[in-house]
Structure 1
């Protein structure tokens, strides 16, 4: 019984942090300038991600000051940011926002980790689904580049090392999905 109560309490505490961190985003809805050199390139490209970066800066620092009283604050902050990533990258399908996220938001976290006031108090963690989507997008990009390269070369490839696109693609290529077969032991 105690375990269920503590689990429910922890969930409500986490939700309260999420609400407060989201309020930081809402507070930043007017013209924001968070004085972070890393984010200046993002300001003109994507205002929503820029505001998120400014909010992350504030949230990371405030969460760092609470870490002694709230031992799970790091995992809460990671989960909040992973949720924001799903929202801002359309669950990983928006390639432009994915690239901006990796370039600016993930690098901002690294910069915040290295800040001497907060020095590595909270390491970035990713759920498996995010790691898989990054792998899937990388594989798709790699395969797509290979096929474009082969198309440019045309039929003049004498040793046929590259094969033909139809040899390696099937009906799944139209919807940008890649099937990976694996076997577990």
Structure 2
């Protein structure tokens, strides 16, 4: 089951989920809107290798915005710290961004219960598109868990800013 907007607000007030900073105006009927932080990461080599640490460069988003090219993946981060030991957050694009051809979280929308940090946007534009720091591009929903909880304590715990793949740390060649 998914939490409604009023339930998201209530559960945050009771400390059962984290959304910081919190703006009541960003509460939607069954989600909370999240904004893009001030920097992006881009991979600087090609091809990328799932079994290796791939080099990145950080791009500051200038005040006039930054143009995303269709031939790249850009990693951004939410301004907000998001997490819960009681619910599973899921990150999605807002429909306004999607209607401009922006994929905000290309494949890995599920955030493990127990995870806490700034979420990484996986940004891909289908045509050139300008984004700005602070743009409200995504929304987080919260799903109830059923059964015994196993809290996340993995390699992305406590993330600050956009995070490149750390799949190579798994030692199995499988990206997690």
Q: Which protein has the bigger helix share?
A: 1
* Higher RCO, Cα 8 Å, sep 6+: 2
Task: Sort the TM-score into its range (normalised by shorter chain).
Answer: under 0.3
- Between structure 1 and structure 2, the one with the greater Rg is 1
Task: Point out the structure with the larger strand share.
Answer: 2
Q: TM-score, normalised by structure 2?
A: 0.27
